[in-house]
Amino acid sequence: MITQALQVEPFDLVVFGGTGDLSYRKLYPALFRRQHEGQLSPGTRVIAVSRQRMSRQEFAVAVGDALKRFDPARASNPDALASFVDLLDYVIVDAGGDLGWADLKANLGDDPARVRAFYLATSPDLFGKIADRLSAHQLITSATRVIVEKPIGKDGASAAEINDALGAVFGENQIFRIDHYLGKETVQNLMALRFANALFEPLWNSGHIDHIQITVSESIGVESRAGYYDKSGALRDMVQNHLLQLLCLVAMEPPASLTADAVRDEKRKVLQSLLKIDASNASERTVRGQYRAGAAFGEAVRGYAEEVGDSESVTETFVALKLEIENWRWAGVPFYLRTGKRLPERISEIVVTFRKAPHALFAADAGRVHQTKLVIRLQPDEGIKLWLMIKEPGPGGFRLQHVSLDMSFSKAFGGHAPEAYERLLMDVIRGNATLFMRRDEVEAAWAFIDPIRQAWSDSKEPPRPYVAGSWGPSAAIALIERDGRTWVEDGEWA
Ligand code: BG6
């Protein structure tokens, strides 16, 4: 059973980019579900802000339509829908100009103790401009927080500019940088698994772990986001944030406490300990690919270049990396990361492979002794599996079998775990920044990513092609097989 969440105090959430895709697809459905679960207190308000000319009524209809699309089961209840729509308001504001700011100020009133959160679901170019105007119009109270979406910049320098602009008007403790992977239940479970069990932590080091794989594969292509994606690519869109954050949680030292700063200090140290990848080693440690026409779920799909309408595009839609963390715990343990679009399945998982048993006790005819593996699946079918060797039951010799101890979250707890944005939005209101990125973490992640980008662009080599619906370029398979290892396939989960 999933336990009832505690109510949060009433708040005003102001969403810049309030008529954008992220807002309709993720933010309003998340708030709707939290209200449905009784977590929002009476008096809470959600105020969308955008340049688009629209009345409150028209906006409410648009949100209702979005909820029916993205949460049809709950939205089929007219009372639930009506009570959520009651929370909504709409103010026309030009985020980069002067229009509407006085209206927004009047709308928000002047209670300094009321929690006020500004969600910047806009392009990062606007973050600084919005921050300046919030300050100029005296909209920032001591109970104000600001939430920013990735990407925080496109490299270290632009991230520092954005962070400076935000830091000029907000304290670091008021800035909530979202990486929605940190709000996923199984990601948080990594901390429980590591630090609430005596079993794993003593083995969580190079003495016992052979290697770790992190895979975040998607079957979708770039869909309607070609404009953004073609300037970003998989390294910036997925690795700089989601995959590196997963790596940090797997590899960090036990924090002194679960306070935001203690956890973020440990994550930052992991990023700072990564072996640098640059022109000297990028060809052995990185593979980038771009999908060509192929098939997804039995249907023919176009190649990336056709989808974005640029036959010369060298944007990568796939990345595989071999990383090393240069510290005492992880010296010599490779971390293989891969992510891509138009891969065969949507899977996010972390696989920890332990070292071989030190001595071959069993005769060859007992069967192959597989290495112990811990598989932490983030999506779909969230859960944890521990693969072990056991004796096949019955008489007639001693044969070994590879079997898994399974923990499926949906079977163990029933129902659906809350989505990442639900958890993260409520954490902002409570002022808990543990699952958000601190400035120095974002900048340390860019400091690792920038030399890889530089090496790729200096090499002048285009990304390697892969057929849509395959597991990426063959070079990605070679990257791990050169070390005598293989990518873990879905069979380890089924
Ligand atoms: C986003 C990326 O941050 O994460 C998208 O910009 C990607 O390109 C998405 O599709 C994946 O998130 P999830 O939660 O569906 O795995």
**Spatial distance between the Cα atoms of 193 and 295, rounded to a whole number of angstroms:** 38
Q: Which of 132-136, 219-223, 325-329 has the lowest mean pLDDT?
A: 219-223
User: Which atom number of ligand 1 is nearest to the Cα of residue 181?
Assistant: 14
> The CATH number of the domain where 86 resides is what?
3.40.50.720
Residue 159 lies in a domain: no
For ligand 1, atom 9, name the residue with the nearest CA. 238
- Judgement on whether residues 109 and 226 belong to the same structural domain of the protein: no
Ligand 1 in contact with 218 (CB < 6 A)?
A: yes
416 catalytic per annotation:
no
Q: How far is the CA of 455 from the centre of ligand 1 (A)?
A: 25
pLDDT confidence band for 381 (50 / 70 / 90) = confident
**φ and ψ of 437, to 5 deg:** -90, 135
Q: Which two tokens stand for residue 429?
A: 């209101």
Cβ(286)–Cβ(448) below 8 Å: no
Over residues 357-375, the mean pLDDT reads: 90
Provide the pLDDT for residue 2: 55
Sheet holding 209-217, edge to edge: 400-408, 383-391, 373-379, 347-354, 209-217, 334-340, 318-324, 286-292, 464-467
286 and 352 inside one domain: yes
> What pLDDT score was predicted for residue 418?
83
Provide the pLDDT confidence category of residue 492 given band limits of 50, 70 and 90: low
Please tell me whether residues 379 and 475 are part of one structural domain: yes
Same domain, 308 and 455: yes
Based on the fold, state whether residues 131 and 29 are members of the same structural domain.
yes
Domain count, the chain: 2
Residue with CA closest to ligand 1 atom 14: 181
Catalytic residue among 242, 359, 370, 416: 242
What lies within 8 Å, CB to CB, of 368 at 6+ separation is: 400, 402
CA of 382 to the centre of ligand 1 (A): 17
User: For ligand 1, atom 4, which residue shows the shortest CA distance?
Assistant: 238
Q: Calculate how far, in angstroms, residue 237's C-alpha sits from the geometric centre of ligand 1.
A: 8
Using pLDDT thresholds of 50, 70 and 90, give the confidence band for residue 3.
low
Q: What pLDDT is stored for residue 188 in this prediction?
A: 86
Alpha helices in 109-173 (DSSP H): 125-136, 156-169
Residue 407 and residue 320 in one domain: yes
Contact 240, 151 (CB under 8 A): yes
Instruction: Specify the range with the lowest mean pLDDT, choosing from 200-214, 230-244, 304-318, 388-402.
Output: 388-402
Taking residues 275-293, report their average pLDDT.
97
Q: Is residue 85 part of a domain?
A: yes
pLDDT over 70 at 4, yes or no: no
Say yes or no: 83 and 212 in one domain: no
- DSSP bridge partners of 88: 46
Beta-carbon contacts of 413 under 8 Å, excluding residues fewer than 6 positions away, are 1, 2
Please tell me whether residues 364 and 264 are part of one structural domain.
yes
Residue 490's pLDDT band (cuts 50, 70, 90): low
Distance from residue 248's CA to the centre of ligand 1 (Å)? 18
Assess if residue 474 is contained within a domain. Answer: yes
| 189/136 same-domain check | no
Give whole-number Cα distances, 11 to 30, 46, 116, 309, 394, in Å.
15, 8, 6, 44, 63
Q: Which atom of ligand 1 is nearest to the CA of 150?
A: 3
Ligand 1 atom closest to Cα of residue 379: 16
Averaged pLDDT of the chain: 93
Ligand 1 centroid to Cα of residue 218, in Å, is 8
Model pLDDT, residue 225: 85
For 305, the token pair is: 């270049």
Map tokens 């138009």 to a residue. Answer: 342
CA dist., res. 483 & res. 489, Å (int)? 17
Hey, whose CA ends up nearest to atom 13 of ligand 1? 181
Please work out whether the CB of residue 237 comes within 6 Å of at least one atom of ligand 1.
yes
For residues 427-445, average pLDDT: 95
Q: Do 195 and 120 fall into the same domain?
A: no
Q: Could you tell me if the CB of 161 is within 6 A of ligand 1?
A: no
Give the residue-averaged pLDDT of 300-311: 93
Judged against a pLDDT cut of 90, whether residue 297 lies above it is answered with no
* CATH classification at residue 221: 3.30.360.10
Residue 52 has pLDDT above 60, yes or no: yes
d(CA 433, ligand 1 centre) in Å: 21
> Is residue 303 one of the residues assigned to a domain?
yes
89 and 208 together in one domain: no
Model confidence pLDDT, tens digit, residues 184-225: 988 888 999 999 999 999 999 999 999 999 999 999 998 888
User: Which ligand 1 atom minimizes the distance to the CA of 232?
Assistant: 6
% of residues, the chain, pLDDT over 90: 83
Q: How far is the CA of 216 from the centre of ligand 1 (A)?
A: 9
Tell me, yes or no, whether 195 lies in a domain: yes
Residue 185: predicted pLDDT: 86
Pocket test for ligand 1, best of 123, 152, 218 (most atoms within 8 A of CB): 218
> Is residue 174 situated within a structural domain?
no
- Position in ligand 1 atom list of the atom nearest CA 242: 3
Rounded mean pLDDT of 411-415?
A: 76
Pocket test for ligand 1, best of 238, 240, 419 (most atoms within 8 A of CB): 238
Residue 488 resides in a domain:
yes
Ligand 1: centre distance to CA 231 (Å): 16
The Cα 138–Cα 253 span in angstroms is 41
Q: Using the atom order of ligand 1, give the atom closest to the CA of residue 228.
A: 6
Q: Is pLDDT of 299 > 90? A: no
Testing ligand 1's pocket by substitution, the residue of 224, 237, 240, 341 carrying the most ligand atoms inside 8 A of its CB is: 237
Query: How many angstroms separate the CA atoms of 236 and 254, rounded?
Result: 28
Domain that holds residue 291: 182-492
Any domain includes 175:
no
User: Which pLDDT does position 10 carry in this prediction?
Assistant: 96
Q: pLDDT category, 366, cuts 50, 70, 90?
A: confident
Question: b/e map of 422-431 (b: 16 or more CB within 10 Å)?
Answer: bbbbbbbbee
Tell me which of 100, 133, 149 is where a domain ends.
Answer: 149
Query: H/E element holding 16?
Result: strand 11-16
Identify whether residues 127 and 186 lie together within a single domain: no
pLDDT average, residue stretch 60-84: 94
